[in-house]
Amino acid sequence: MSMDDDNGGATQILAGLLQARTGQVISPGRYWRVETSLKSVLAEYCIPDIDTLVAALLGAENDELVQSCVEAMLNNESYFFRDTAMFTMIRTQVMPALQKGRADSRRLRIWCAGCSTGQEAYSLAMQFADDRQKWAGWDIEIVGTDISESVLERARSGRYSQFEIQRGLSVTRMLRYFQQDGEDWEISPDIRAKVKFRADNITRPSGDMGQFDLILCRNVLLYFAPETRHMAFSRLARSLANDGYLMLGAAETVIGQTTSFNACREIRGVYTLRDAATRTNRPVLDANWPFAQEA
């Protein structure tokens, strides 16, 4: 199906649905993505075209169809150790700084916002496992969040295709942390247990997750409108510990976007809270919070 005037209005409505539900913006020049992304939804629900799909969405309450459309249009691109230089920086600069700063509590909390199918969060877990002796006795919590339940389900399963397993993952780590099961590869129970996944919208949080020592929000804000991006930065600022670090994607920056963060002077490519000196210490987690009692 080609993109033309006949279904341009329908495509615009669907792009508006995505923005309203997630904050992600699809520019008119990329409306072709809408039709491409929704091909699987049309096939699953036996809907002949985009116009008929919009009529179904507008004609009656259909939460399942709406959710399917939103999840299909989300950009869920992810792979293991995406941006190798960033993971090297985490291992050689960010983690040593946090290890020194948390020497008394021996506890770290890391948030992967917009975690998609889990590769980023599992990459961090594998990196800690590589340095097992260095982190012996530490309580390290990695939380991955995403708005899409379908990608979270895949993340929790820890199962990846041969293509996915080869994207960014060395042969050494593949053999050390994965086992082949039919055509798929399954991550080891030890690594999977180190990461917790939950549904969350960065601009409309479902609950207070407490504060984190390191937040990775990479290639998420890039798709937001300016006002939505401002809301996201406010949430990130509230969620970061006084002396914690924020990492964005290579094409993202805080410059001209927020007054909550500064570029870190000690570690290039990460950000710290601008008013950290005046902020109170991070709160103790409520015992009823889902991960409060989990190591």
Q: Supply the pTM of this predicted model.
A: 0.79
- pLDDT tens-place string over residues 65-99: 888 888 888 777 789 999 999 999 999 999 999 99
Domain ends where: 25, 46, 73? 73
Clarify whether residues 222 and 271 are in a common domain. yes
Clarify whether residues 40 and 119 are in a common domain. no
- Between CA 267 and CA 63 the distance in angstroms is 45
Clarify whether residues 36 and 126 are in a common domain. no
Q: Would you state the structure tokens that stand for residue 60, as one six-digit string? A: 């009656």
Across 56-73, b (16+ Cβ under 10 Å) vs e yields ebeeeeeeebeebbbbbb
Domain ends where: 47, 73, 99? 73
Low-confidence residues of the chain: pLDDT under 70: 1-8, 59-60, 276-295
Domain of 116, CATH number, reads: 3.40.50.150
Question: Looking at residue 22, what is its pLDDT?
Answer: 77
Specify if 292 maps to a domain: no
Give the residue from 57, 48, 60, 49 showing the smallest Cα distance to 18: 57
- Between CA 194 and CA 178 the distance in angstroms is 15
Residues ≥6 apart with Cβ < 8 Å to 137: 106
Question: Looking at residue 287, what is its pLDDT?
Answer: 37
Question: Looking at residue 283, what is its pLDDT?
Answer: 37
Clarify whether residues 41 and 120 are in a common domain. no
Question: Looking at residue 268, what is its pLDDT?
Answer: 85
Question: Looking at residue 77, what is its pLDDT?
Answer: 76
Question: Looking at residue 157, what is its pLDDT?
Answer: 96
Percent helix, strand, coil in the chain, to 5, is 45, 20, 35
Total number of domains in the chain = 2
Q: Are 194 and 125 a contacting pair, CB within 8 Å?
A: yes
